A and B are shown apart, each in its own frame.
Chain A
Amino acid sequence: MNAKLRKLILHVSKFVAYVTIFCYSLTMAFGTETSAQQKLLGEISVDLSYQKTSLIDVIKELESKTDFSFVYSKKELAEKNVLVPEGEWKMDVLMYSISSQANVAIRRVNQQISIKPLKPDAKAPSVEEDIRVRVGVSGKVVDENGESIAGVTIVVKGTSTGTISDASGAYSLEVPEENSVLIFSFIGHVTQEISVGGRSVIDVTMVVDVFSLEEVVVTALGVEKESKKLGYAVTSVNTKDLVDNRTTNVMESLEGRVAGLNITPPAAGAGSSMQVRLRGQAAFAGANNAPLFVINGLPIDQGARGTNGRGENRDLGDNLQNINPDDIESMTVLKGATAAAIYGSRAANGAIIITTKSGRKNQGIGVEYSASYSAMEALNFMDELFQTEYGAGDGGLRPQDKGSAASQGHYGWGEKLDGAPTINFDGVSRPYSAYEDRLFDFLRTGSNWTNTIALSGGGDKGSFRASYSDVDAKGITPNNEYKKRIFNVGLNHDITSKLKMQLNVNYANEENINSPQIGTQGPGAVNFFTRMAISNPLESYKQSAVDPVSGSEYRESGFFGTIVNPYYLLEKGMYFNDDRNRLLGTTTLRYQITDWLYAQGRYNYDQSNNFAEWNEVAGIGDADLLNNDGTYGGGYNIRNTMTRDINSDFLIGGNKEFGVFSVDASVGGNTYRTQWQRTEQNARNFTVPELYTLPNGTLRDQGITPYNYSVSRVNSLYGWTEFGYNGMLYVNFTGRNDWFSVLNPENNSKFYPSVSGSFIFSEVLQSQPWLSYGKLRASWAQVGSANGVNPYDGRLTYSILANQFNGQTLAGVSGQAAPNAALQPFTVTEKELGIEMRLFEGKVLVDLGVFEKITTDQILNVQISEASGFAESKQNKASLKNTGFESLLQGSPIEAGNFKWTSSWNNTVLSTEVLDLGGPESLLLIYFNGTGNEFLGELRYTVGMPMNQLYTRSYLRNDNGDVVLNSANGRLLATNSSTPGAENTNGFLPVGSSMPKLTGGWANTFSYKNLTLGVHIDYKFGGTVLSSTWLNTTRQGHSILSLEGREGGLVYPGVINTGTQENPVYVDNNITVPVSDLRAFYSDYRNLQIGDPFTFKTDFVKLRNISLSYNFTSALSKVGGLDFIKGLTMTAAVRNLAILYKDMPGLDPEAIQSSGDFRAGYENSSLPTTRNYTFSLNVKF
């Protein structure tokens, strides 16, 4: 939980506690230490001082002279008079006397005596005496982290007896009977009822109630607000989920947990990036479509270094890797534009606010240690994809010699597998059998060891927390490792009673070692093993990776280097190391000017240095190891990148109440400076073979742009005002103005407004007992994003060629993009409406919301005629719409004794539409997979259709819908530009959007005493994917689809045209494609781009997580000598336990290649997803 939030809760609860004590002391004999044997009334004497006639006077004197407290109504007894002479009285005698004189009923229960008038006809006297056995109960109240909580109210159910916990969380009180029930309540936490059940020690763990009525959330700029005042959707993340279901990248464990937050982890190795999208995709591919992350007030971009189908095919992680889940105090997801409007141009996709821990005051010194170990095994569904009947070869024949075994090594068009010795590419004969698990035998079990140690403490002036965490992960590909070390310090200090200082520093060092290469072509292991004939065993590739004659890669297929034997690369020592160091630092000074006004200044520093080093090995695809000039092939590259972001801001805020009205207003300003620089150097043509250093290269150059540099600045002023009425109606206005250095000076200022409101309708419906709380919220906001407007975009620059041409320096105009000085940030306008209700005494929470988000003036890299001199130009064009519905239903279906089941179900329905592409074009091609090294389909934006529309050609069909085949040879035909609907797309037809329409998750927690079981199911429906693995295994004869026609040839079901083109006559196809032509037949799928058999839905339902944790704290406290351990929790968890449903056979629909948006909807030989088994331990001293 957020430190400030925690502090606030403490302040409030202390106040509540004092009030409680005060109230108790007024109404009851609180804290009377009469634990001794209680006496009967007849055993007690009282000396009355003088004769009285007023019953109330008598009672008052008795109250002062005995330990009894009296309960009565002044009004009822005001007229009652009795005659009670002075002198010593036995209490029983006195009571009987009073009862008969005043016609009242008297009842004594322990130390309390209640007096009520009797009906006039009732028979007096009436005196009852009930002395109950008092049981002393004591214990300690702690929070989920095992830290004690002061100020928890403990009341005996059905009585007004109670107490509050002290500074160390301890409490003690007496209960009237063994079966009394204690109610523990604390602001912001779930109220618990615990039966005493004869126990004398009851330790209680208070659980944070994320959705409590008085919930305080951290909003933009770190300002804490009561949730009821917010006119937009906000979700606080339960940080326990992050720790229990630990993943290498902290965001991965949030998948399926927050409505509107769509997280997709690419299967790209240890330490890879995440695809994080809030409420759809706000902008087109190429923009940063991830939300803004704000860590202790420091805004950072996600910075995904994923593969994007354009450039490196290794995923090098993202900035979220720099955060250790153990350090997170609180995390809030600000979904909509309104929530984020105050962040201006960087938060068009919403924002996620993270606060790290910085200790608590008056806590003494504490040490916390946590360790976790995960083992990761690749999930294998390949039996749904691979055929295991036919082996290597072509035309229905197996290879007869070494040469043909090599040239046909990637074809599965051979004979039926019979186990007979058959020659392989390396000349060795091996049994002609199916070796379908080669990929999984090549992969290994991955692991992740994480250790975190934290030291925290606090005095009356401040607090601190320092932690060190170490992650040592091994990916499932043999040499992939990921190491991370994070050092985090948080410090709070009250310089004076009004001036407070806070400091947070996070230093992270990461090493990404050999992140796997993924993608259809290139040196990826997945690609290799899914495309080699199934009859070649793994050993053949391992034993014969290197050709003993040439020293190059043993030629094992007809691909000649476009697909590479991974053992060759391992043997030749190919590597790629990426080492990053990042420092995030925040200093905050806050001055409380008066009790309602404060001023705050903050300075954020974020610097990262990234050193990447990699080699390229020679001899791939049987190429020469030697160059023409006699030097050795291969390459060596280094790249150094530095990024520095500096944010400084100030904020002046105040709030005041005027009767039923309240005003909360703030103004602030920010200056954001960012600088980026990169140098590269590479070496080639080596003197010494396989020695990868710069001096060894005879050819050295510095990359395309030897020194990259950019610096830009955004200055901003902002403010907001919130008006409240009577605690039930709130309206909030925000405004922000940004000035951009990257824009044309004539027009570099942008204003972003928002307005939101909330209405607590339960305040006017108090008569409805089922409704504890109800809020309506509505908001409208505009934010922009300068993402895509890069420094220097508006200026034409030149490049000097790295090498002189015959001694002559040459220059060129840089870049393919025509500079556009008029470029502007794009705008996101968002409306949302929501309702939040707590029903049945707050046991059920319902939160529903709808939103519409329209992005206008998209920055599009418009393709222009190259005859203009340039290939593209960035323009403000096009708009798109995301609309959605979000729901959250939460409650406790079963609460019985020590058993409790809480359940939380969230859903998001998202629909997107491309509204306009800014001109006559109604189609925009984003990625054409059909040429180059990729194989199927296209990704387009099409007006009137959802975003990320996939296109492929289809079978040519006649008006009856029959598949029309080539009447000459019985082979396939594809749709073409005369196919209706495909006139402008060359026969390509839309087959669906990659974006899921429904995403959601169902999280359940079952707890029994100290045992907690978490079960999380999540799902996505409605997305479409094109599978290159299915296509390539089919055209190469490896998939089950390619089995048709193996014996006697294939007569494809369909029709042929025996008439003319104008007057077609269709008859059933009777042409047999001979076995010798099967390869050609199935290759037509690729050549003609027929996508039908390779188009799937990405639908899935996964049993995402099961975690079981046990809190040993209370058990340990009973063991002598171990009480120095303040908390001990152990957790076992399994992630990706099972896929309960999926549409795409053979592959995990989530196994996408990229965290970016250019390759949306393209399955492309990414690594298999893994099932992770995690054991973790958390100890506090």
Chain B
Amino acid sequence: MKTIKTYIFLFTAFFLLGSCDKDFVEINTNPYAINEVEPGLLFANSQRLAHIGGWAGEHTIVQHFVNAYNSGATLGFNFNADIDGISNPQWDASYPDALKNLGQAVVLLGEDGAQSNLLSMIRIWKAQIFMGLVDHYGDVPYFNAGKAVTDGIFYPEYDDDAAIYDDLYTEITAALAALNPSGDFVSADLFYGTNGSVPSGDAATQVAKWKKLGNSLLLRLGMRYSKVNASLAESIVSEAVAGGVMTANADNAYLTYDGSLYSNGGNASLRNFSYFNYAAEPLVDQLKSTNDPRGKFIVASYDEPAAITDGVPDTVLANQFGVPVGVLSGTIAADIAMATYRGPKGGGLNYSQMNIYSVASPVAPRVFVTYAQTSLLLAEAAAMGWISGSAQDFYEDGIAADMQWYSQYPNSEVTASEIATYLSQPGVAFDAANALELINTQYWVVNISNGSEAFANFRRSGFPTLSRNDFDDSLLANGGDGFVRRMSYPDRESSANETNYSAAAAAMGGDVLTSRVFWDKP
């Protein structure tokens, strides 16, 4: 080998080694790639990418929605089955999408503090996303997440869910404190920026909105502690209220869609293979029993369940029937009393489906944090005596705000008189003795457009009162109460991050649907 090396040396010396990699750095930079970007654009994209639940996932768990068919690919929560693809959207939308962009935006912002408002918004939004992750899975990678490029951490550890919540509190409060009305205006902000859902044109207006959003999130975070640490809940809720939460629908954090370039993806998919997709009986019964004026915008009966885009649906509330939870299309007739079985219809079942021309429209907005949610949370806090103010007022304001919000859905409008009538309905009218059930049942209806929040709040509050899905007893195993208490980690993690996954699964009491996140106490 020595001969060869000498040899090579001689003639490389002759031809000058130095010239052999001249210009290589320049050559290896793609002139057509985007090598630099404005961090605000990454932040805005992460707003779009954040997850709020899906029909087959969170909405099925809370019995808004049913897929009564088991064709293998459609197996899921309606059959108490732990299906990877249904548990993953929260994870997939967060880490490799929204959080990746937010993380890189922070890297680009650097430490010069020039865009401190953008940084604060990123921190709040990141906290919102991580809250969703903890609420769905419990322990998740947090402190070392998103550091593949910056720190070469490919296999991050999972952190304790309570510890993450502690840090989320710190992050939100610190970011709120850093928001500066005379600081930078973040034009790209999809909520309150130049082209936002609620547009603004200056930093002061935008920062005011973000303060409300941040404090409303803080309120949500505080309320999660209601069972596990009431005093902490009380203190965080009070801090949020003091900081100023949302006070009107104009404060809502949401995204709108034009239906062609971008559409509400979860809703758009309801149109495909529509005979799979039905409204669940508990939801329809709630809407019918309270004469809910939102009902006609939520559910509908179609001439042909297999082709719901044809014809005009029947939205008369009295004609709506939800599919019982936990039945299988093939055996439905045997599973429920024959007298109540409504039989097949066309290519599907003779039951109501989601109203794809309103709430379930591809142009329906996606809502992350709303005044209606906030007001209902305040109602509960007031009922608990943690904050001042009338629980009833907060409750009724919340319902009214949600009904007024329906004008944001296509072809939908709830009138003031309908709202007034509704508020006095039995099962709706405020009753201090039954306040928590009323408030949280409304929270369940309000969150027909935010499955993640419906799922979390149902577990926290235990309302509405739902019966367990008795398709089988699998959710009674491992000390389960028959309900899905969390989603399982992606199967991919068990091979791609094996050691840390196993530790986390053990810490959670098993990577199963019946394990509970830290704030979910029986």
Q: Write the residues of chain A forming the contact surface with B, with a CB cutoff of 8 angstroms.
A: 560, 624, 628-629, 667, 669, 699, 707-713, 715, 717, 719, 721, 733-735, 737, 739-742, 745, 748-749, 751, 753, 755, 791-792, 794-801, 803-814, 816, 818-819, 862-871, 873, 920-921, 925, 1087
Contact = CB atoms under 8 A, between A and B. Distances in A.
Given A715-B20, A865-B141, A865-B155, A808 B96 contact: no
Contacts of A733: 3-4, 7
Contacts of A864: 148, 154-155, 496-497
Contacts of B111: none
A1027 to B, nearest CB: 20
A136 B97 CA distance: 91
Given A745-B21, A797-B35, A869 B149 contact: yes
B339 interface: no
Nearest to B261: A803
B15 A813 contact: no
Interface in B49-93: 72, 91-92
A865 B12 contact: no
Contacts of B11: 667, 717, 719
B190 A745 contact: no
B348 interface: no
Interface residues of B, number: 78
B201 to A, nearest CB: 14
A865 B27 contact: no
Contacts of B96: 816, 866, 869-871
A733 B36 CA distance: 48
Contacts of B497: 864-865, 867
B495 A925 contact: yes
Contacts of A869: 95-96, 99-100, 103, 145-149
Interface string B150-194: 000111100000000000000000000000000000001010011
8 contacts: A733-B7, A798-B36, A800-B37, A808-B190, A811-B44, A862-B154, A868-B147, A921-B498
Nearest to B96: A866
Contacts of A792: 28-30, 33
Among A721, A737, A808, A921, max chain B CB count under 10 A is at: A808
Interface in B1-55: 1, 3-5, 7-8, 11-12, 15, 20-21, 23-25, 27-38, 41-42, 44-45, 48
A213 to B, nearest CB: 30
Nearest to A794: B28
B95 A866 contact: yes
Contact of A867 (B24, B34, B146): B146
Interface of B: 1, 3-5, 7-8, 11-12, 15, 20-21, 23-25, 27-38, 41-42, 44-45, 48, 72, 91-92, 95-97, 99-101, 103-104, 140-141, 145-149, 153-156, 188, 190, 193-197, 255-256, 258-262, 273, 309, 490, 492-493, 495-500
A873 B148 contact: yes
A715 B12 CA distance: 12
Given A753-B1, A867-B141, A868-B155, A795 B8 contact: no
A810 B45 CA distance: 5
A740 B33 CA distance: 20
Contacts of A797: 30, 33-35
Contact of B37 (A713, A715, A798, A866): A798
Given A867-B95, A867-B156, A711 B7 contact: no
B414 to A, nearest CB: 25
A584 B408 CA distance: 62
B4 A812 contact: no
B473 to A, nearest CB: 15
Contacts of A713: 24, 27
A676 to B, nearest CB: 11
B4 A735 contact: yes
Given A733-B3, A800-B34, A809-B41, A868 B146 contact: yes
Contacts, number: 217
Nearest to B104: A813
A869 B496 CA distance: 13
B5 A735 contact: yes
A721 B8 CA distance: 11
A276 to B, nearest CB: 30
A865 B91 CA distance: 11
Among B3, B38, B154, max chain A CB count under 10 A is at: B154
A1006 B27 CA distance: 57
A399 B34 CA distance: 59
B7 A721 contact: yes
B355 to A, nearest CB: 15
A1052 B11 CA distance: 75
A809 B100 CA distance: 18
Contacts of B35: 795, 797-798
B48 A805 contact: yes
Nearest to A403: B347
Contacts of B140: 867
Given A749-B20, A803-B262, A873-B154, A719 B7 contact: yes
Sort A-B residue pairs by CB-CB distance and give the 8 closest, nearest first. Answer: A865-B497, A811-B41, A867-B141, A868-B148, A864-B154, A818-B148, A807-B195, A808-B195
A794 B28 CA distance: 9
Contact of B48 (A560, A737, A810, A1087): A810
Contacts of A871: 96
Nearest to A867: B141
Contact of A813 (B1, B42, B156): B42
Contacts of B92: 866
A647 to B, nearest CB: 16
A798 B104 CA distance: 10
A300 to B, nearest CB: 21
A806 B4 contact: no
A709 B30 contact: yes
Nearest to A924: B495
A870 B100 contact: yes
Contacts of B500: 865
Contact of B21 (A721, A748, A803): A748
B154 A868 contact: yes
Contacts of B273: 560
